């Protein structure tokens, strides 16, 4: 049950409220009890004053012997102060009870049975004993009719020191305190019940959007990834949570869409060479008595298409690993101009086949920290494109040089250029400015070469840009940072 946030919130809320209520009511109760006791003590002191004033007046009027004068003055004073129900006790200088008023209406020298038990109790005797040494003393003592507040005052009569003790029953006060205790207890219980119920419904209402979000989110899958969570109030915490979740869904949706397109494009690219392979194989098998040259020609086509397939699959594999972050670079200290020279050497046969003039400028030293195989692949892709898209007898140049911030490789050709409206898309996967031309023959690229080259440049914290492309040709440039600080976190 405590797994529910609603219940946990309610329990916490009620527990805190309970602590606060108990603290407040206990403090209030203690203050009331103390104040009431102080008032009782004050009243008893005033009563003792008044009693002794009456007593002294009665004593002065009484012509009898000193001992009987004290007794009758005490009785008279008790009669005059009987109305409030307090019990007066007069003790002789020797500590004996000489007069007491245990019945409010008729003070008698002999107390009633219950009061007699109180006056005979050890607590009362102990109090009376202590009071003999102090002018005034106060104490709460147990009695036969409940607890009493005992007040004592020494007074002089006929040169002797007597003791006046007033016993005030705390019964009424205890009843009042009991009522307060009960009232507080019920109020706390009722308050907790109301607050707990209210808190539970409040928590349920506040968390309802979360539950709704959960239900909605559970329904969202690959098939309906375009659906979004409802945002009731974009400014509150739950609204912000829903917005964040929706942003996440947006990114997931886009990523899914990219993956879907990638798979669709990849399948499409693979279909053409596979269809050619099957067609060629069928032709070779269907014709009996073919000449050896015909078979050789078919095998040549099969070989060419298979190589094309392998190249596409390799490129796809590279991009997939790059996307998932699984392609770990193996950086080392290398000289970029040497890599450029090697690449130019590799493509010179291709250039010669098309009678293209290939010039190379890689004289300055360019020490970089990078993955040699990948940098080689990037430069070869650019050179391959330059030769592929340049007409017979054209010109391709490659140059490598150090700049103020790093190194630059420029590949320039005298090809037909890329139409201005398509230039921004050439780094997209599977994009070809002229698909019909690209798909046929040796020039049939899958539109992945520049995507891979761009990824390689960025994986080296560099850039690949199309600097210029017009009717006179195209100019691609790779910018790589200097050896210091390059390739952080790639191995």
Strands 160-169 and 146-157: antiparallel
CB closer to ligand ADP, 163 vs 351 = 351
Q: How far is the CB of 475 from ligand ADP (least distance, A)?
A: 9
Q: Count CB atoms within 10 A of the CB of residue 471.
A: 8
d(CA 49, CA 81): 11
Are the C-beta atoms of 150 and 170 separated by less than 8 Å? no
Nearer to ligand ADP, 330 or 472 (CB): 472
Residues near ligand ADP (CB under 6 A): 381, 385-386, 389, 413, 415, 418, 426, 431-434, 438, 445-451, 474
At its nearest, how many Å lie between ligand ADP and the CB of residue 391? 11
As a residue count, the chain comes to 491
CB atoms within 10 A of CB 32: 14
CB of 407 to ligand ADP, least distance (A): 21
Shortest gap between Cβ of 414 and ligand ADP (angstroms)?
10
For residue 245 the two structure tokens come to 């979740």
CB 182 within 8 A of CB 189: no
Counting other chains too, the contacts that 127-134 makes at CB distance below 8 Å and 24 or more residues apart are: 127/152, 127/165, 128/91, 128/95, 128/152, 128/163, 128/165, 129/95, 131/163, 131/165, 132/95, 132/163
Q: To the nearest whole angstrom, how small is the minimum distance from the Cβ of residue 361 to ligand ADP?
A: 18
Q: Which CB atom, from 446 or from 456, has the smaller least distance to ligand ADP?
A: 446
Q: Between 30 and 391, name the residue whose CB sits nearer to ligand ADP.
A: 391
Task: Tell me how far, at minimum, the Cβ of 277 lies from ligand ADP, in Å.
Answer: 19
β-bridge mates for residue 162, sequence order? 155
Closer residue to ligand ADP in complex, CB, 406/447: 447
User: 176, exposed or middle or buried, with CB in 10 Å at 0-12, 13-18, 19+?
Assistant: middle
**Of 163 and 457, which CB lies nearer to ligand ADP in the complex structure?**
457
Q: Find the shortest distance in angstroms from Cβ 227 to ligand ADP.
A: 35
Query: In the complex with ligand ADP, which residue's Cβ is closer, 222 or 436?
Result: 436
Minimum distance from CB of 450 to ligand ADP (Å)?
3
Q: Which is nearer to ligand ADP, 69 or 445 (CB)?
A: 445
33 or 311: whose CB is closer to ligand ADP? 311
Question: Which tokens belong to 425?
Answer: 């898309």
Which of 32, 20, 11 has its CA nearest to residue 188? Answer: 20
Is the CB of 44 or the CB of 347 nearer to ligand ADP? 347
Long-range contacts of the stretch 55-61 (C-beta < 8 A, 24+): 55/155, 55/157, 55/164, 56/157, 59/157, 59/158
Contact 169, 85 (CB under 8 A): yes
Closer CB to ligand ADP, 77 or 474, in the complex? 474
Q: How far is the CB of 292 from ligand ADP (least distance, A)?
A: 34
What residue number has its CB nearest to ligand ADP?
A: 445
| Residue 339 Cβ vs ligand ADP, minimum distance, rounded to whole Å | 19
**Smallest gap from residue 354 Cβ to ligand ADP (A):** 13
Pairing relationship of beta strands 357-361 and 395-402 according to DSSP bridges: parallel
């Amino acid at each position: 049950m405590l797994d529910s946030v609603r219940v946990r919130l309610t329990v916490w809320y009620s527990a805190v409220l309970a602590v606060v209520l108990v603290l407040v009511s206990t403090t209030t109760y203690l203050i009331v009890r103390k104040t009431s006791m102080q008032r009782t003590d004050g009243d008893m002191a005033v009563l003792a004053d008044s009693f002794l004033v009456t007593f002294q007046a009665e004593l002065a009027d009484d012509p009898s012997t000193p001992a009987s004068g004290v007794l009758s003055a005490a009785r008279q004073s008790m009669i005059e102060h009987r109305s409030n129900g307090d019990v007066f006790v007069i003790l002789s200088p020797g500590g004996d009870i000489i007069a007491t008023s245990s019945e409010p209406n008729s003070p008698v020298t002999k107390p009633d049975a219950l009061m007699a038990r109180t006056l005979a109790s050890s607590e009362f005797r102990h109090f009376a004993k202590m009071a003999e040494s102090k002018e005034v003393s106060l104490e709460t003592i147990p009695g036969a009719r409940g607890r009493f507040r005992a007040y004592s005052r020494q007074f002089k009569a006929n040169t002797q020191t007597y003791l006046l003790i007033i016993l005030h029953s705390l019964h009424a006060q205890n009843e009042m305190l009991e009522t307060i205790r009960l009232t507080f207890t019920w109020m706390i219980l009722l308050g907790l019940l109301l607050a707990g119920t209210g808190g539970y419904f409040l928590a349920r209402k506040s968390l309802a959007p979360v539950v709704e979000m959960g239900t909605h989110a559970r329904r969202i899958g690959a098939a309906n990834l375009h659906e979004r969570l409802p945002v009731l109030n974009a400014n509150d915490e739950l609204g912000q949570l829903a917005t964040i979740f929706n942003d996440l869904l947006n990114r997931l949706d886009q990523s899914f869409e990219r993956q879907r397109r990638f798979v669709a494009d990849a399948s499409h690219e693979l279909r053409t060479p596979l269809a050619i392979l099957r067609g060629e194989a069928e032709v070779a098998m269907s014709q009996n008595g073919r000449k050896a040259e015909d078979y050789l020609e078919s095998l040549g086509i099969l070989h060419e298409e298979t190589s094309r397939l392998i190249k596409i699959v390799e490129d796809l594999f590279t991009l997939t690993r790059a996307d998932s972050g699984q392609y770990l670079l193996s950086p080392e200290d290398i000289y970029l101009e040497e890599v450029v020279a090697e690449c130019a050497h590799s493509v010179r046969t291709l250039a010669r086949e098309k009678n293209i003039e290939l010039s190379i400028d890689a004289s300055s030293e360019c020490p970089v920290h990078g993955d040699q195989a990948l940098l080689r692949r990037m430069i070869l892709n650019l050179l391959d494109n330059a030769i592929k898209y340049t007409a017979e007898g054209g010109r391709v140049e490659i140059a490598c040089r150090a700049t103020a911030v790093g190194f630059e490789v420029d590949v320039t050709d005298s090809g037909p250029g890329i139409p201005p409206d398509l230039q921004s898309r050439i780094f997209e996967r599977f994009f070809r400015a002229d698909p019909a031309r690209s798909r046929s023959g040796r020039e049939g690229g899958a539109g992945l070469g520049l995507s891979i080259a761009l990824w390689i440049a960025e994986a080296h914290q560099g850039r690949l840009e199309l600097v210029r492309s017009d009717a006179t040709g195209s100019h691609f440039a790779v910018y790589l940072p200097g050896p210091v600080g390059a390739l952080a976190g790639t191995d």
